[in-house]
Amino acid sequence: MLCKTRPVRDEERSVTEGGPSPAQHDALASVFNVSDLITYQANVRPGAVALVQPVPSRRTLTWSQLETRVSAVASGLAAYGLVAGHRVALRAPNSIEFVIAYFAALRAGFVAVPMNPESSEPELQTMLADSGARVLLSAGRADVPGIRTLSLTEQGLTRIAAGATGPVLSPPDRESLAVLLYTAGTSGDPKAAMLSHRALLSHVEHLLPYGVVTEQTVVLALLPLFHVFGLNAVLGSWALAGATLVIEDGMDDLLSIIVEERVTFLPVAPAVIYRLLQQEDLTGSLVGIATVVSGAAPLPSALGAALTERTGLRVDQGYGLTEAAPGVTVTLGGAILGPGHVGRALPGVDLRIGDGSDQSEPAEIWIRGDNLFSGYWPDGRDGPDRDGWFASGDIGYLSHGELFLVDRARELIIVNGFNVYPAEVENAIREVPGVDAVAVIGRAYQRTGEQVVAFVAGTGVTEQQIVEHCAWRLARFKRPAEVHLVAELPRGATGKVKKGELRQLMSAPDLHDDLKGDEGAGHGGER
């Protein structure tokens, strides 16, 4: 029976509401490898439905069936000569097959390397080479020289499982490397966060006191499972709780799926909230939702308030980063205090502002906890310091234990929850003949959080050339939404581009009048 939606008062939320069950504590106590969570659930609730994929035709797997397939695929992959520590790349949209392959890779002691299926061919090849992946499991066509490519489809996994020779055993070591998650470095070079089983398990353990996901919860997996939010905050929490996961890979028929599958937990990114607000029958479709949590990108206060006004649902949000697997703070269990507020630190996570001398003065946010990564691949560089602290790159302050975000210390752009480093886009655009100089900045945009905007100076270069090159060279979310051709870029005394002036131009009444010589300014494709 679907419950009636109503506003949730702050005092009704408690960090101990529901709380961790004894079963969840037992599950964590016996787990050294994230895939052990699947084995645990198969033992305690073998016939319960674990996975549902409604489209194109509805498919389900019980926990027992999932355990059987994970073990078979793990053994089948090992038959290709892979051993513990070898990297296995996963390139696919949300699907039952992605879930099976991910846990199978971990079961065998391999290192999973989830990749955005929209990555361009050059990006894919760079990440595969950097990670040293031995095998690429891909849902689409991918021909990469020197790497065995296997099909990440239902039929493909069946063929892999057919080669199974027996159970595989991985070292029972929480510190062993589980996942490499890529983000571009500030120079545009590939940069992968090394997440151990300890880091991944610690995050889901930190969420336990909130009692948001239990065995009765029906979780929507709409967020990309190759992104840290979807991979661990959603997938990890589901596996620990023994909940039901409804897998969706787009907004088509989303509201009807939420109703038909009786979804109760809605983890989303701000862009999804924006899309939901465009739906006419929003209120009637979300009557069964108990919890909405926004993450992966900053949530504009007006966007969360609009959803609350339409549906009566409180919109909580979390703050995190790939390096924290991903959770740092969440507003669950307390009041929502307006713009910039992202809640209190999760249990098990410590926060420090700057050097710690004045927590109320905005400075860089430092994080400490067992959920932190082990540094960047392959040598663990730039990881937590000797005391366990990691500098987030974000600016914020604490007020009575509540964290408020102010700005970013680095020029990071976040599009639909994905990190875009200006240097990477700038390097790609410089490859276009005729480009003399380029500067890339981010601009607030309601649908995606931010947009990438490029200012380019050059001789004979056209906007179309830049757009076409970026379409080949960069993943979709990294491509400029706008390309502005300018006579020259504003520079300071040292020759450094003054991006602050470019940001001011973006808010000018008529950008084209302000950019002298900007005859070719135009749009590079809106996402």
pLDDT given at position 210: 94
* pLDDT confidence tier of residue 20, bands split at 50, 70 and 90: low
Give the DSSP H/E element, type plus range, for residue 36: helix 36-44
- β-sheet bridge partners, residue 391: 366
* pLDDT confidence tier of residue 470, bands split at 50, 70 and 90: very high
Which DSSP string corresponds to 133-178?
Answer: -SEEEESS----TTSEEEE-SHHHHHHHHHT--S-------TTSEE
- β-sheet bridge partners, residue 62: 49
Question: Alpha-carbon distance 137 to 151, whole Å?
Answer: 6
Q: Which of residues 483 and 21 earns the better pLDDT score?
A: 483
Closest residue by Cα to residue 131 from 196, 182, 81: 182
Residue 513 three-state SS: helix
Give the DSSP H/E element, type plus range, for residue 484: strand 482-485
- Low-confidence winner among 250-264, 271-285, 407-421 (lowest mean pLDDT): 407-421
Q: How is residue 501 written in tokens?
A: 């002036």
Question: Alpha-carbon distance 180 to 213, whole Å?
Answer: 26
- Low-confidence winner among 163-167, 256-260, 285-289 (lowest mean pLDDT): 163-167
pLDDT of 447 strictly over 90: no
Question: Alpha-carbon distance 35 to 201, whole Å?
Answer: 10
* pLDDT confidence tier of residue 81, bands split at 50, 70 and 90: very high
Tally of CA atoms within 13 A in the half-sphere of 65 that contains its CB: 13
Query: 353 and 394 in contact (C-beta within 8 Å)?
Result: no
Question: Alpha-carbon distance 110 to 90, whole Å?
Answer: 12
Q: How is residue 305 written in tokens?
A: 């308030």
Tally of CA atoms within 13 A in the half-sphere of 431 that contains its CB: 13
Instruction: Please state the pTM of the whole predicted model.
Output: 0.82
Question: Alpha-carbon distance 329 to 277, whole Å?
Answer: 26
Query: 463 and 521 in contact (C-beta within 8 Å)?
Result: yes
Nearest-5° Cα angle at 405, 403 to 410: 135
Please give the backbone phi and psi of residue 338, each rounded to the nearest 5 degrees, phi first.
100, -170
Pair type for strands 49-53 and 190-196: unpaired
